[in-house]
Structure 1
Amino acid sequence: MGLEWEQVIVHAQDPAALGTWWAEALGWVAVYSTADEFEIRQDPDRMPGIDFVRVEERRRTPSRLHLDFRPDDQDAEVTRLLALGARRADVGQGDVPWTVLADPEGNEFCVLQASPT
């Protein structure tokens, strides 16, 4: 295949603050930073990364794309992320086995149940 997935772009009002939050949440490292851009990766030489790029306007609608994460312990991970500054989000999901959270700028993401063993 001729394509390699390099990164996901996230629009942010404060790229460094949001990128730093996600780096801490995921245990990733910053690999690039300017006043308008902040990129993190799991390891400096490993892709894909997440690149936070400055935009001036606030997001007005729910995200059309979001990330899902599968932790070892859903309850512990939700508690940890809430302590870091995430908040619970209602996107109309109803009664489901995953938890929808939002990062400090309101970008939704899901914390799934642990994988069955």
Structure 2
Amino acid sequence: MSLEWEQTVVDAADPVALGRWWAAALGWVVVDDASDEYEIRPAPDRLPGLLFVAVEESRSVKNRLHLDFRPDDQAAEVARLLSLGARHVDVGQGEQSWVVLADPEGNEFCVLAARHG
């Protein structure tokens, strides 16, 4: 028996807008652009993808799952993501080597420091 990680599903008030934002943030391609399900992947035939689905209720607490990204240049990547519409978020992390941001719908994610060695 084997499992393949197909995608991570993200609830969204506006799946198209949020999916477009993440496609721009990650440089990924759109593989499904329906109004109620919007899927992006690193390449059309590469998994896993991110699938944005429409939900009516708004998020009420901190994410129980979040994504971590490790760029070559943390400061430059944080600046680029902020220019796309991300914002800084305090989830009680204190002073750390990573930066916590949120996408336009408030989903937290971390931008890690560059890997050393």
TM interval, short-chain normalised = over 0.9
Deviation track 1:21-71 (CA, whole Å, cap 9, x = no partner) reads 000000000000212110000000000000000001110101000000000
- Give the secondary-structure state (helix, strand or coil) at the position aligned to 2:57: coil
- Give the secondary-structure state (helix, strand or coil) at the position aligned to 2:105: coil
1:20 aligned partner? 20
Cα deviation for residue 97 of structure 1 reads 0.5
Question: Is 1:49 equivalent to 2:49 in the alignment?
Answer: yes
- Give the secondary-structure state (helix, strand or coil) at the position aligned to 1:22: helix
**Structural RMSD (CA):** 0.7
Given the two structures, how large is their TM-score scaled by the length of structure 1?
0.98
1:79 aligned partner? 79
Deviation track 1:61-102 (CA, whole Å, cap 9, x = no partner) reads 010000000000000000000000000001000110000000
Q: Which runs of 5+ in 1 are unaligned?
A: none
**What is the identity percentage for the equivalent residue pairs of Structure 1 and Structure 2?**
68
Q: Which runs of 5+ in 2 are unaligned?
A: none
Q: In the TM superposition, what are the counterparts of 1:80-99 in structure 2 within 5 Å? A: 80-99=80-99
- Give the secondary-structure state (helix, strand or coil) at the position aligned to 1:25: helix
2:115 aligned partner? 115
Instruction: For 1:66 and 1:114, locate their aligned partners in 2 and report how far apart those are by CA, in whole Å.
Output: 19
Instruction: For 2:77 and 2:45, locate their aligned partners in 1 and report how far apart those are by CA, in whole Å.
Output: 26
Instruction: For 2:74 and 2:15, locate their aligned partners in 1 and report how far apart those are by CA, in whole Å.
Output: 27
Instruction: For 2:66 and 2:93, locate their aligned partners in 1 and report how far apart those are by CA, in whole Å.
Output: 13
Structure 2 letter corresponding to 1:29 = V
Given the two structures, how large is their TM-score scaled by the length of structure 2?
0.98
